With several copies, the nearest count.
Chain A
Amino acid sequence: QARDVVVFAAASLKNALDDAAAAWSRESGRKAVISYAGSNVLAKQIEAGAPADVFFSADLDWMKYAISRNLIRPGTRLDLLGNDLVLIAPKGSAVQVSLRPDLDLASVLAGGRLAMGHVDAVPAGKYGKAGLEKLGAWNGIKDRIAQTENVRAALLLVSHGEAPLGIVYKTDAVSEPNVRIVGIFPEGTHPPIVYPVAITQDSMHPDAAPLLEFLRSAKARPFFEKQGFKVLNTADSGS
């Protein structure tokens, strides 16, 4: 097999997946080529016949989209990673918010804007909107939201003080020294944040299954956890 196995992965996975893939390469002597982009783009590309062997999405919707179009080899899907949604503020900010029902974010914002991923388009945005709705804060601030193209941009707005508050993944927040986590959205306030991975229908690459196997193994776990992901589904725990 001349060609390396091709992984289409959500861009937010880059650091962790690069490290894990490198480890796999060292172990197996094989190489993985990873194309990072938005999950939506990747799904559409696979639909258009992209030479992807593995699809690693940042949310469930686009995985479901791919499955519904028969782009995924049945039985290979695995909800590998999880993440938490957090409310952040710039490092120097003194705001105190507790993420409980009847949350009043509007007064905390004090005319500023809440930065988050696009509430319809970006997974983190969708989760954030659900969380805010659940906590009863949505209606009060829905006109005060600065929606970004991706979650990293929301982080950027907060870290540069453009927005006094933002909603991002925990993985993003912990690695950014210029922001402070104000609170973590409790489980159940939003649909579970899941990063599903699967082998594509068209893939005939012999390395695809071993790679997936490696990613769910304990050997890969530290790379994900180092970036703040929760590993939901490893070979040891079974599923």
Chain B
Amino acid sequence: MTDWLSPEEWTAVRLSLKVALVATSASLLPGIAMAYALERGRFWGRQALDVLVHLPLVLPPVVVGYALLLGFGRRGPMGSLLAEQFGVVLSFRWTGAALACAIMGFPLLVRAIRLSLETVDRKLEDAAGTLGAHPAWVFFVVTLPLILPGIIAGMVLSFAKAMGEFGATITFVSNIPGETQTIPSAIYTFTQVPGGEGGALRLAFVSVAISIAALWMSEWMARRVRRRFLA
């Protein structure tokens, strides 16, 4: 089993998993906040924010990668700020790959949560309010549990996207084995040389297997959530 993939490929698999998990979990809170703001907020610039969130979907991944490179690279404004103030370096690190994946999956995450948020019965939130719950509590005790299916769906999409994301990642953090070489990057490398198809296929297979596992887990969670209150 282990010799079925080379150690380097195993590294890529582990890294991909790590990147996808970190990307998904790190974008969760901002995703919920963003979805809430876009769906419920009535502030100036909401529409612009909406467009911004969708950009990674609309633009070719390479462009997003370039933008990240310019913004979060060592010499970019955000990159240097982060490095100087917080000692966080993203460029050419796996954290950068996670950022790229998070950003590429963000519109999917936000959309799914918004869609759930739309269908939340505001009357239940009102009811919670009359029972003494401060709006913040209402959000945590009523709204959040009710949008759980959307959150799960969004996380699945974001995770799957992270497992497959390539263009932005390779452009932003390159393809450094052990640091930034994720499964898609490794697959890409294989497709660039003669005789690489086998390796590409093997890795694609692993990627699909991981995603199946993630899908099943999410379906299981969603069913648990739903069984309860839509029985």
Q: Chain A interface (Cβ within 8 Å of chain B)? A: 6, 8, 11-12, 14-15, 33-38, 40-45, 48-52, 61-62, 65, 113, 115, 118, 120-122, 145-150, 152-153, 156-157, 160-162, 171-172, 174-176, 227
CB-CB under 8 A from A156, the residues of chain B are: 66, 69, 171
Which residue of the partner chain B has the closest CB to A115? B174
Q: Knowing A11-B189, A50-B92 touch, does A36 contact B73 (C-beta < 8 A)?
A: no
**Shortest beta-carbon distance from A195 to chain B in Å:** 14
Do B73 and A160 touch (CB < 8 A)?
Answer: yes
Do A48 and B74 touch (CB < 8 A)?
Answer: yes
16 example contacts (A-B, Cβ-Cβ < 8 A) are as follows A14-B192, A37-B174, A37-B175, A40-B191, A40-B192, A48-B70, A49-B74, A61-B194, A113-B174, A122-B192, A149-B167, A153-B170, A156-B66, A160-B69, A161-B74, A176-B194
**Does B78 lie at the interface of the complex (its beta carbon under 8 Å from any beta carbon of A)?**
no
Q: Knowing A160-B75, A162-B74 touch, does A121 contact B178 (C-beta < 8 A)?
A: no
**Shortest beta-carbon distance from B217 to chain A in Å:** 32
Map CB proximity to A onto B66-93 as digits: 1 under 8 Å, 0 otherwise: 1001100111100000000000000110
Within 8 A of A (CB), among B170-199: 170-171, 174-181, 188-196
* Cα separation A34 to B179 with both chains bound (whole Å): 11
Do A48 and B75 touch (CB < 8 A)?
Answer: yes
Most A Cβ at <10 Å: residue of B73, B75, B92, B180: B92
CB-CB under 8 A from A36, the residues of chain B are: 175, 189, 192
* Cα separation A39 to B181 with both chains bound (whole Å): 17
Q: 18 other contacts beyond A37-B171, A162-B75, with CB at 8 A cut-off?
A: A11-B192, A12-B192, A14-B190, A35-B177, A36-B189, A48-B73, A113-B92, A115-B174, A120-B193, A146-B176, A147-B175, A149-B62, A153-B170, A157-B174, A160-B70, A162-B73, A162-B91, A227-B194
Which residue of the partner chain B has the closest CB to A61? B194
Sorted nearest first, the 5 A-B pairs with minimum C-beta distance are A121-B192, A175-B194, A49-B74, A11-B192, A48-B73
Q: State the total of A-B contacts with C-beta under 8 angstroms.
A: 144
CB-CB under 8 A from B193, the residues of chain A are: 11-12, 14-15, 40, 61, 120-121, 152
Q: B-side binding surface: helix, strand, loop or mixed?
A: loop
CB-CB under 8 A from B73, the residues of chain A are: 48-49, 160-162
* Cα separation A61 to B62 with both chains bound (whole Å): 20
CB-CB under 8 A from A12, the residues of chain B are: 192-193
Do A44 and B176 touch (CB < 8 A)?
Answer: no
CB-CB under 8 A from A227, the residues of chain B are: 194
Do A41 and B174 touch (CB < 8 A)?
Answer: yes
Q: A-side binding surface: helix, strand, loop or mixed?
A: mixed
CB < 8 Å: which of B69, B175, B192 contacts A48?
B69
Do B176 and A48 touch (CB < 8 A)?
Answer: no
Q: Knowing A120-B193, A171-B194 touch, does A162 contact B176 (C-beta < 8 A)?
A: no
CB < 8 Å: which of B174, B176, B189 contacts A14?
B189
* Cα separation A122 to B188 with both chains bound (whole Å): 10
Do B175 and A35 touch (CB < 8 A)?
Answer: yes
CB-CB under 8 A from A42, the residues of chain B are: 174
Do A33 and B171 touch (CB < 8 A)?
Answer: no
Which residue of the partner chain B has the closest CB to A147? B175
Within 8 A of A (CB), among B69-123: 69-70, 73-76, 91-92
Which residue of the partner chain B has the closest CB to A43? B194
CB-CB under 8 A from A48, the residues of chain B are: 69-70, 73-76, 91
CB-CB under 8 A from B171, the residues of chain A are: 37, 41, 44-45, 148-149, 153, 156
**Shortest beta-carbon distance from B127 to chain A in Å:** 53
Do A45 and B194 touch (CB < 8 A)?
Answer: no
CB-CB under 8 A from B176, the residues of chain A are: 6, 33, 35, 113, 145-147
CB-CB under 8 A from B192, the residues of chain A are: 11-12, 14, 36, 38, 40, 118, 120-122, 150, 152
Do A147 and B174 touch (CB < 8 A)?
Answer: yes
Do B174 and A49 touch (CB < 8 A)?
Answer: no
CB-CB under 8 A from A148, the residues of chain B are: 170-171, 174-175
